[in-house]
Amino acid sequence: MELLIIFVVISFLIGTIGFALPSKSSKKISELRLNASRLGLKIVPSNIGKNSFKNKDVNLMIYSLKNETNLKEAHFIRDKDELILYSPLKLKYSDEYDEIKSKLSSLSSNVLEIIFSNSVVAFIWREKAGITELEKILNLLKVF
């Protein structure tokens, strides 16, 4: 009986220590977020504060950077293989829309949503793609 109690206590201690240690995937994502903040990105959970994104997955993070583009108001949502314009619809009938659409088509399918505002460009993407994918996204967003 005493051995059974000792075994249960040791199992409980090992289990709690194992639960407290971060997994490989959480270490990878925390390293990615650290590198992203070094690149000048602000990272905010999608469930905190007021957010304009239509994707309501609470596991996703919102990455944002200062808007240095000419595009000051636009919201694009991924629909199957392409990012489509959600708002404002007047942009769709402007002369520069075809150029914007061709630049956005070169973004990977990991980008789920992008919002251009006067001050920031915010986007949601699948973080498991890694830092190289994030650098590609940043380089493309700086070309606008």
Mean pLDDT within 16-37: 86
Provide the residue ranges of all domains of the chain, joining segments of one domain with +: 24-143
Sheet holding 82-87, edge to edge: 42-45, 61-66, 120-125, 111-116, 74-79, 82-87
Q: For a pLDDT cut of 90, what percent of the chain falls above it?
A: 13
Q: How far apart are CA 31 and CA 109, in angstroms?
A: 22
Mean pLDDT within 78-103: 83
Structure tokens at 144: 């606008």
Q: Write out pLDDT tens, residues 36-81.
A: 999 889 998 876 656 778 877 777 888 999 988 888 888 999 888 8
Sign of CA pseudo-dihedral 85, 87, 93, 95: negative
What is the four-CA torsion angle of 78, 99, 73, 49, rounded to 10 degrees? 30
pLDDT, averaged across the chain: 85
Q: How far apart are CA 78 and CA 58, in angstroms?
A: 17
Q: How far is CA 141 from CA 43, 90, 105, 115, in A?
A: 16, 21, 12, 11
Write down the pTM of the prediction: 0.78
